[in-house]
Amino acid sequence: MALENWQLGGFGLYIHWPFCQAKCPYCDFNSHVTASINQDRWADAYLNELERVAGDTSDRVLSTVFFGGGTPSLMPAKTVDAILTKVSDLWTTSNDFEVTLEANPTSTEASRFRDFRTAGVNRVSVGVQALNDKDLKALGRLHTTTEALRVYETARSIFQRTSLDLIYARQHQSLSDWEAELDRALAFAPDHLSLYQLTIEPDTAFGRLWDMGTLKGVPDDNLAADMYELTTDMTADTLPAYETSNYANSGSESRHNLIYWRGGDYLAIGPGAHGRTTFAGKRTGTVAWRNPGMWLEAVEKQKTGDMTIEDISQTDRETEYLLMALRLREGADLSRLSDTARMGLEAKIEELNEEGLLLRSGDIINVVPEKQIVLNAILVRLLA
Amino acid sequence: MTELSNIRNFSIVAHIDHGKSTLADRLIQETNTVATRDMKEQMLDSMDIERERGITIKANTVRIDYRADDGQDYVLNLIDTPGHVDFAYEVSRSMRAVEGSLLVVDSTQGVEAQTLANVYQAIDADHEIVPVLNKIDLPASDLDRVAEQIEDVIGIDASGAIPVSAKTGQGIHETLEAIVQHLPAPKGDPDAPLKAMLVDSWYDAYLGVIVLVRIIDGHLKKGDRIKFMSNNTTHHVDRIGVFKPAMAEIDRLGPGEIGFLTASIKQVRDTRVGDTITHEKHGTTDALPGFKPSQPVVFCGLFPVDSAQFEDLRDAIEKLALNDASFSYEMETSAALGFGFRCGFLGLLHLEVIRDRIEREYDIELITTAPSVIYHVYMRDGSMVELHNPADMPDLTHVDHLEEPRIKATILVPDEYLGDVLKLCQDRRGIQEDLTYAGSRAMVVYDLPLNEVVFDFYDRLKSVTKGYASFDYQMTGYREDFLVKMQILVNDEPVDALSIMVHRDRAEQRGRAMCEKLKDLIPRHMFKIPIQAAIGGRIIARETLAALRKDVTAKCYGGDATRKRKLLDKQKAGKKKMRQFGKVDIPQEAFISALKMDG
């Protein structure tokens, strides 16, 4: 039997832990700072949600679990353990089962790494963000460079796979500053880097400063573009970009994130989490209650954390697939689209190809790597 | 039917915001013409756009029954005239339909240019004028100063001016008495053949065209067969009535009376303002003087933003034209904008009103191209071509010279802003004709090319004078000048909708300004875009829009798919509002914004 469309992307589970010790000024994720957390209630809620979402999907093979946040490295190890034990009760897991947890690089969290590993976590993504104490402060981070790198080394000694996150195109950062910093990061010989350009999001502290005109020294588009090109060049040999902002040596890509970009199915539990599931060709999007208190109450009283369940039309699925897949170096596979959608795209693909923005080989289209920096404009041309 | 001696017909002359509508409301209320419970603000302004803008576009009328202090019953007919220069001809006809005017002046503000233009119309029509000083309830009210200004600037006696607060009702009774005592009764011969003036007309979905008439001589009855003398069309009158201000049917109208008729007329176009109406048989042979069919003076292209709406636009324009004889249109094709219409208007306000009505009442988003005037192009062979659209400019080798329409502009401004106003007029190629003072206000008269005024002159005037200037104009005729057609090239392709006629000496400056504006208005593309201004084949200004360097979402994971997709849908909608020229998308607002001059 031919594989269903979603199966070509894979099947994973996302778990959102919404709490942080402090809110960072650039972050628009669903994260909250709370004085006390009733850990038992929260653990029970996640376990109940797992049982609920397993209902329709227990016959599937689960490839990945991703603990995101918030700061999931602040979760009690026993909660992580209980969740992962429940996961293996509910689903068959794949041979190369990947369990990622996002970690902040402070010593408190490093002390739990061994217990996380025992619970089943086999990959951590460490949010180092900058290799410069002044900038870490400006980004609202609670750790120093030395501490972060020590935690990163600890992580590498404990987990099979690690990733390091950096934010660049920061305030007052020059091209040579970034070159030196990236050089230093590459010198640790990581197998995976997430390198994000600083984005000023609305409804964040930075966003408000930006609107008032008091956020100084943010690189302009020209400098940011130069930094992006430099990043592509510097990583090309050892950790080539496999996605717009992600760099890895072959085989070390985040398998969980690839499910998003390849149009697979993913269950999602925890406050504000977005899921996608496909049954009999019909795709559904779920969004959980965003506010942690409301989510907890919904799970306990309504027996579901989901606030909305939405049908994703064929056209919307195809749009999502293209806008996600074209972030990947491997590109998008046109054979995964309906004939109508393909026909509608042919002329535009040809045009973008002639302009040197898109590459095409058979059914595969991908964005010319150095043009990823204007991906949004290309998507508008292709899809709007 | 009322005795002539007991009829008073009048209009109200006022600047916008000086309280004309509120005063009319008060007169209606004081005489119990409308039950209090049915009163709403600005009874007479019936269109939403009129209410919003505080202007009157169609003439409105109300018949007020009033028992005066002398114990006699009078019929007072108020015609509320359009108050804007674009409708000067309509105003002049309404003025001819009445014998007197109330001149309403805001006692906190004083006389404005628009008041002047309308009061001169009233004087031209031999009106008795009763000044009314409004807003006396406000602390800033200065009756002596304003009365003096009326005498100085307008030159009429203001000793009998009535202090009024239309807001509180103070002085309303005195106003009614003044109408009876100081305004003349109409004259007319009840036994002569019917002679009536067509004051205004509009379309009603149930009754067909409603014609507002003033009877000069004779009688008009239900069932009469009447004739419009300008086009000799005949009609059977099926309804006669008056406005109170709701329609009330009566049997007949006699000399001096104002009312309406309906006669199963389908198109407003067939009923020309100022026309003479008489009986088909035994009618008068003697038409009223001063009738002229209205002529559009400002032209622009109207194109649907969504080209699929062209047929809807045609439908809307046809419907509006049925109801507005002064609005002309013909189909236009633009390489840039596709199918649309080249439309003619009485002036800029008229243009805006029509555009707003199409967008609002018919729900069609429009691209409006640069307003243009009618140039007279004299060819080498001696013939003359009227040029309505710069895109149609004939080949220069055949052109001898061009003439452009000129206006006489009257501007009243507090003297602290005078310098800015003079500079503005000078920059727009104006020639000063007069400069006088009335108190601390200056009155300047300029001879200006209409094409320098049709676009954003009024906006600029308001901005340099912080809104304290008032402005009015009248057409004076055509004069030769060194005019050229300037084209704009975007990415080396001419954009016809951005072509303008410009004076040769200003071309570089305008060209540079337009290129700079377009550089800001056109979004960055993935390639760099030259933006040039050219006369003939010669480039006179150039800017380069740099290529887009960065447009990417750094983080995009499972939770971002919906948001990204919705953003894309929004961008899709945004793209619909762009027009594509070669490979370049130009947003619709650019077609107007690019032309705005900052200095």
**Prediction ipTM score:** 0.95
Higher pLDDT, B578 or A190: A190
In this prediction, residues A269-280 reach a mean pLDDT of 96
Q: What is the mean pLDDT of chain B?
A: 88
Q: Chains A and B: how many Cβ contacts under 8 Å? A: 103
pLDDT at A242 (0 to 100) = 97
Question: Distance between CA atoms of A125 and A71, rounded to whole angstroms?
Answer: 11
Q: Which residue has the higher pLDDT, A265 or B569?
A: A265
pLDDT band of B45, cuts 50, 70, 90: low
pLDDT value of position B56 = 53
Mutate to test the interface with A, among B567, B568, B578 (most CBs of A within 10 A): B568
Q: Is the pLDDT of residue B296 over 50?
A: yes
Q: Does the structure show a pLDDT above 60 at B49?
A: no
Select from A83, A64, A121, A123 the least CA-distant residue to A248: A123
Contacts of B527 in chain A (CB under 8 A): 355
**Residue B322 DSSP code:** H
Closest approach of A229 to chain B, Cα-based (Å): 11
Containing A314, the helix (H) or strand (E) segment is helix A314-325
Q: Are B63 and B75 in contact (CB under 8 A)?
A: yes
Average pLDDT value for residue range B156-181 = 93
Question: Distance, in angstroms, between A320 CA and closest chain B CA?
Answer: 6
pLDDT for res B52: 53
pLDDT band at residue A315 using 50, 70 and 90 as cut-offs? very high
What is the C-alpha to C-alpha distance for residues B347 and A202, in angstroms, rounded to an integer?
44
Residues 6+ apart with CB under 8 A from A5: A263, A278, A281, A317, A336
* Separation CA A70–CA B400 (nearest Å): 76
Q: Which residues of A touch B (CB under 8 A)?
A: 14, 68, 196-199, 221-222, 224-225, 228, 244-245, 257, 259-260, 266, 268, 272-276, 285, 287, 316, 319-320, 323-324, 327, 355, 357, 371-380, 383-384
Which of A274, A375, A384 is facing B571, going by the closest CB pair?
A: A384
Q: How confident is the model at residue B14 (pLDDT cuts 50, 70, 90)?
A: confident
Count of CB atoms situated within 10 Å of the CB of A116: 26
Query: Strands B276-279 and B195-204: what pairing?
Result: antiparallel
How far is the C-alpha of B374 from the C-alpha of A369, rounded, in Å?
54
Q: Cβ contact (<8 Å) for A374 and B552?
A: yes
Note the pLDDT of residue B599. Answer: 42
CA distance B247 to B268: 19
Token couple for B338 = 């596709």
The residue-averaged pLDDT of A262-284 equals 96
Is the Cβ–Cβ distance between B45 and B21 less than 8 Å? yes
Whether residue A378 and residue B558 make contact (CB cut-off 8 A), yes or no, is no
Statement: residue A54 has pLDDT above 60: yes
Given a cut of 90, is residue B442 above it in pLDDT? no
pLDDT band at A113 (very low <50, low <70, confident <90, very high): very high
Q: Do the Cβ atoms of B275 and B227 come closer than 8 Å? A: no
Which domains, from first to last, does chain A contain?
5-260 (3.20.20.70), 314-383 (1.10.10)
Q: In whole angstroms, what is the distance from residue B278 CA to residue B287 CA? A: 9
Residue B463: pLDDT above 70? yes
Best probe of the A interface among B491, B545, B552, B578, by most A CBs < 10 A, is B552
Residue A186 CA to residue A192 CA, distance in Å, equals 10
> What is each CA distance from B61 to B39, B197, B325, B536, in whole angstroms?
16, 14, 20, 53
Q: Quick one: CA dihedral B24, B29, B33, B37, positive or negative? A: positive
Would you say residue B83 has pLDDT above 70?
A: no
> Which of the given ranges, B118-122, B226-230, B472-476, has the highest pLDDT on average?
B226-230
Distance from C-alpha of B79 to C-alpha of B97, rounded to nearest angstrom: 8
C-alpha dist (Å) from residue A6 to A263, A342, B556: 6, 18, 18
Confidence label for B334 from pLDDT (cuts 50, 70 and 90): confident
Predicted pLDDT of residue B123: 85
pLDDT in tens, B510-564: 999 999 999 999 999 989 999 999 998 899 999 999 999 999 999 999 999 999 9
CB A104 within 8 A of CB A136: no
- Choose from A273-277, B114-118, B358-362, B475-479 the range with maximum mean pLDDT: A273-277
Higher pLDDT, B203 or B422: B422
Token output for A98: 């990947």
pLDDT band at B391 (very low <50, low <70, confident <90, very high): confident
Mean pLDDT of A136-146: 94
B581-596: pLDDT as tens digits: 888 999 877 887 887 7
B548 touches chain A (CB under 8 A): yes
Q: What is the end-to-end Cα distance of chain A in Å, rounded?
A: 35
Six-digit token pair at A6? 């979603």
B356-383 exposure pattern, b = at least 16 Cβ within 10 A, e = fewer: ebbbeebebebbbbbbbbbbbbbeeeee
Q: Which of A14, A196, A376 sits opposite B558 (nearest CB)?
A: A14
Closest partner residue to B551 (CB to CB) among A257, A357, A376 is A376
> Using CB atoms, which residue from B551, B555, B560 is nearest to A374?
B551
Query: How far is the C-alpha of B320 from the C-alpha of B299, rounded, in Å?
Result: 16
Handedness of CA B235, B238, B240, B241 (dihedral sign): negative
- Average pLDDT for B237-249: 91
Contact call for residues A368 and A354 (beta carbons, < 8 A): no
Q: Compute, in degrees rounded to 10, the torsion defined by CA atoms A78, A84, A86, A91.
A: 180
Backbone angles phi, psi at A96, to 5 degrees: -100, 35
Residue B471 has a CB neighbour count (10 Å cut-off) of: 21
Closest residue in B to A259 (Cα–Cα): B558
**Which pTM was predicted?**
0.69
Query: Which long-range contacts link A33-37 to residues 24+ away (Cβ below 8 Å)?
Result: A34/A292
Give the count of beta carbons closer than 10 Å to the beta carbon of residue B533.
26
Phi, psi of A225 (to 5 degrees): -65, -40
Average pLDDT over residues A322-347: 96
- Tell whether the model's pLDDT for residue B28 goes beyond 60: yes
3-state secondary structure of B187: coil
> Is A274's CB within 8 Å of B556's CB?
no
B550-583 per-residue burial string, b: 16 or more CB within 10 A, e: under 16? bbbbbbbbbbbbbebbebbeebeeeeeebbebee
Q: In the predicted model, what is the mean pLDDT of residues A65-72?
A: 95
Distances in Å between the Cα of A159 and the Cα atoms of A247, A249, A306, B332 are 19, 17, 32, 71
Spatial separation of the C-alpha atoms in residues B289 and B272, rounded to whole Å: 14
Q: How confident is the model at residue A228, as a pLDDT? A: 96
Q: Is the peptide bond before B245 cis (omega within 30 degrees of 0)?
A: yes
How far is residue A142's CA from residue B359's CA, in Å, rounded to a whole number? 55
What's the confidence (pLDDT) of residue A349? 97
- pLDDT of the residue at B470: 77
Contact B544, B530 (CB under 8 A): yes
Distance from CA of B522 to the nearest CA of A (A): 14
Task: Flag whether residue B564 sits within 8 Å of chain A, measured between CB atoms.
Answer: yes
- Residue B478 in 3-state DSSP? strand
Mean pLDDT of chain A: 95
Window 492-531 of B, Cβ < 8 Å to A:
525-527
Written as six digits, the tokens of B425 are: 């007029």
Query: CA A280, CA B556: separation in Å to the nearest integer?
Result: 27
Phi-psi domain of B477 (left: phi exceeds 0; alpha: psi -120 through 50; beta: other): left
Contact check, Cβ <8 Å, A384/B572:
yes
**Residue type at B163?**
P
* pLDDT score of A45 more than 70: yes
Distance between CA atoms of B524 and B8, rounded to whole angstroms? 65
